[in-house]
Amino acid sequence: MTPSVLAVADSDSYVKWAAATLETLSGYDATLVVLASPVHPTPAQLDAALVGTRLAGGTPATVRLRQLRRVLRGTPPDVLLVATTGPAAEHVLRAAAGSAARPITVTGLPGMSVPATELALRYRSSVDLFVVHSHREADEFRTLGRSLGIEPTVVVNRLPFLVREGGERRRADTAPLRRVVFAPQAKFPETRADRVRILHTLGRLADSHPDLDVVVKLRGLAGDAQTHHEDLPFDRLALEHRGAPGVAALRIATGPLSAYLEQGTALVTVSSTAVLEALALGLRALVLGDFGLGDHNLTGVYAGSGLVGSLDDLAAARMRAADPAWLRANYLHDEPDQLPAALDSLAGSVLPALRAPAPVGTWRGRVRRRMRLSAPGALSAVQSTLRAGRRVLPR
């Protein structure tokens, strides 16, 4: 009988990661469901996240936590892929702990995960396999796990949505530059002033290079749920600053990133995983170092990459090629994925009873996290009202 894998995702980035990870498990009957939560993707975000996978064109079922619990305790899969934000992962694993037949539990993070964080492990402390995406990440999570007494088996898979042809990266793109794609993030940079600096610099680029297609590629439009809430979305800022030089010429776009990554394109970001998708295709890139380089904004991983530049470089269309040694150590290694072999090994083992993760944080925090999954619509409405209030209250 063909073994089964059930992937449970919540936000758009986790749906993308889950669907792409399922592609690496070709010997399994695969199902993907989306957990009802305040970060549930829009239909457009779901479509974009599933492009290029066997699930493309379909609509994954949305399930509430109590429905998922019934499935896991009644007819559990052979493998449970927990592809959710940390607070949701804690509750999914608690639901699985009462399964009639124990599934192998797998989890991971959907992008770059340097530095390794304590909460990432604590929320998922009871899993069998923890998927990371570079040898550096594996070293950091193993070291941190030992210090916390949390030691799942850490396996290294290449980020599943990175193009790989015959195990080799594509040759470096030398075509004339025709398009510059900026990939924003919800969290960085944090201030309005810094975000406006980026926007105005993109405008300067478009103004001084009218032959370039300058794209601001969004994961969602203002108001759409994402893995991390975005207080200052770039589509809203572009409307506010459309009178600034070149800003009106910027193309604000959504949809799958792959649609914009073709020869003659360069990817610009502060620290988005999107840059890796460009590098896997041999494209040029630019990591903006004006806001500091370090763990505070998840850019420390780019030290030594050859990709770090400035807003002045962006304005002048000076793009970079990555250092080959850095690529091998950070996400674009050529070794086979380790997850399939790890699953085969566990499938033939007698596993201990599946336990729930140890409680994380205060009881109030745990109740709040549970409410996000029990009544996500009501909680989202309250949070939206509070955020709207913050925008109009004097600071």
Helix (H, G, I), strand (E, B) or coil at 225: coil
Span 100-159, pLDDT tens digits: 789 999 999 998 898 999 999 999 999 999 999 999 999 999 999 999 999 999 999 999
What is the DSSP code string of 141-179?
Answer: HHHHHHHHT--PEEEE---TTS--BTTBPPPPP-SPP-E
More confident site: 379 or 248: 248
For residues 383 and 39, give the distance between their C-alpha atoms in angstroms, rounded to a whole number. Answer: 12
Say yes or no to pLDDT of 381 above 50: no
List beta partners, residue 213: 179
- Section 287-299 average pLDDT: 89
Span 13-44, pLDDT tens digits: 999 999 999 999 999 999 999 999 999 999 99
- Judge contact between 13 and 88, C-beta under 8 A: no
Say yes or no to pLDDT of 303 above 50: yes
- Section 325-352 average pLDDT: 91
In the chain, pLDDT over 90 holds for what percent of residues?
A: 72
E strand or H helix at 342: helix 339-347
Say yes or no to pLDDT of 47 above 90: yes
CATH number of 4-162+335-361: 3.40.50
Say yes or no to pLDDT of 385 above 50: no
For 84, residues 6+ apart whose C-beta sits below 8 A from its C-beta are 8, 9, 10, 11, 14, 35, 92
pLDDT band with cut points at 50, 70 and 90 for residue 66: very high
Please return the burial class of 72, using the count of CB atoms within 10 Å of its CB with bins 0-12, 13-18 and 19+. buried
Span 164-191, pLDDT tens digits: 655 455 688 999 999 999 999 877 788 9
- Section 288-308 average pLDDT: 90
Across all residues in the chain, what is the average pLDDT? Answer: 89
**Among 346, 393, 371, 319, which Cα is nearest to 103's?**
346
pLDDT the model gives residue 164: 64
Span 305-334, pLDDT tens digits: 999 999 999 999 999 999 999 998 889 988
pLDDT the model gives residue 386: 38
**Among 211, 214, 207, 216, which Cα is nearest to 252's?**
216
CATH number of 179-329: 3.40.50.2000
pLDDT the model gives residue 219: 79
Where do you find CATH 3.40.50.2000 in the chain? 179-329
E strand or H helix at 124: none
pLDDT the model gives residue 388: 47
- Judge contact between 45 and 120, C-beta under 8 A: no
pLDDT band with cut points at 50, 70 and 90 for residue 60: very high
